[in-house]
Amino acid sequence: MEKISPPGLRARLVGLLLAATACAGLFFAQSDPVRAEYGDVVINNHSDAAGVRPVVFPHWFHRVRFRCKVCHSDLGFKFQAGGNDINMVKIIDGQFCGACHNGSVAWSVENCDLCHSGKPNTPTQVHESTIQSLVGTAAPPAANAKR
Ligand code: HEC
Ligand code: HEC
Ligand code: HEC
């Protein structure tokens, strides 16, 4: 297979994938509203495999509050979606998100759902508006159903 599929094909594959996993995803998909908007980074190196929702990192929300340097230099976040091997041990240890989400700079780590808010099976990515709308139209109703 080629390395990069055209967006349309990709969206259809995502759609098929969602259809195939709709049953497995139903429990998660309908339990909470899924939040993701333009510029959000979805981080899913480990989440699906570990049985939790992918993480949605609202980049702009943070960018208006902190200088780039705070995260990308001081805290060592690499400039790449999914490029940091983040896990909960590191976070609880005060690294990455845990440098702030510690109950002092920001709310602490027990608020699982506030970070793990992505739609199951969403790959690691930066949410761009075009990809979003393509995925939106291609996704089967079952996976998006609000009821
Ligand atoms: C401040 C944000 C944040 C909060 C709060 C948070 N997580 Fe995470 N968690 C992450 C990030 C980021 C990753 C890495 C995601 C990935 O690569 O898939 C992660 C990964 C994980 C993983 C897979 C890797 C591992 O460490 O095993 C599990 C399981 C997990 N979280 C469970 C939880 C649970 C349970 C809670 C609540 C007690 C929680 N998380 C709260 C951000 C958070
Ligand atoms: C609160 C922490 C934080 C701040 C502040 C922050 N970033 Fe990020 N940035 C992240 C995280 C987390 C990721 C995703 C990394 C991952 O998935 O492992 C990211 C990813 C990125 C990426 C790669 C993804 C993309 O959007 O293309 C770029 C580029 C980037 N940041 C630029 C910036 C710039 C420029 C600023 C300042 C205007 C900034 N960041 C401020 C945490 C931050
Ligand atoms: C430099 C500090 C800092 C880092 C690093 C950081 N956050 Fe935050 N985050 C904040 C602050 C401050 C808030 C606002 C807290 C509040 O409103 O009480 C916040 C809020 C949030 C929110 C809620 C946004 C909303 O709309 O209310 C989410 C989700 C979140 N962070 C996820 C993450 C994840 C995931 C990571 C790691 C990839 C991370 N944060 C890293 C400081 C940080």
Q: Whose CA is nearest to atom 33 of ligand 1?
A: 112
Atom of ligand 3 nearest to the CA of 117: 29
Q: Which two tokens stand for residue 99?
A: 């440098």
Whether residue 135 contacts residue 7, with contact meaning beta carbons closer than 8 Å, is answered with: no
Q: DSSP state, 32? A: S
Query: How would residue 26 be classed by pLDDT, with cut points 50, 70 and 90?
Result: very low
Choose which residue among 44, 61, 67 to substitute to test ligand 3 binding: the one with the highest number of ligand atoms within 8 A of its C-beta: 61
Domain boundaries, the chain: 7-144
Per-residue pLDDT, averaged over 86-111, amounts to 98
Q: What is the pTM of this model?
A: 0.81
CA angle 106, 108, 112 (to 5 degrees): 120
CATH code for the part of the protein at 7-144 = 3.90.10.10
Q: Is 50 in the pocket of ligand 1 (CB under 6 A)?
A: yes
pLDDT, tens only, 68-79? 999 999 999 999
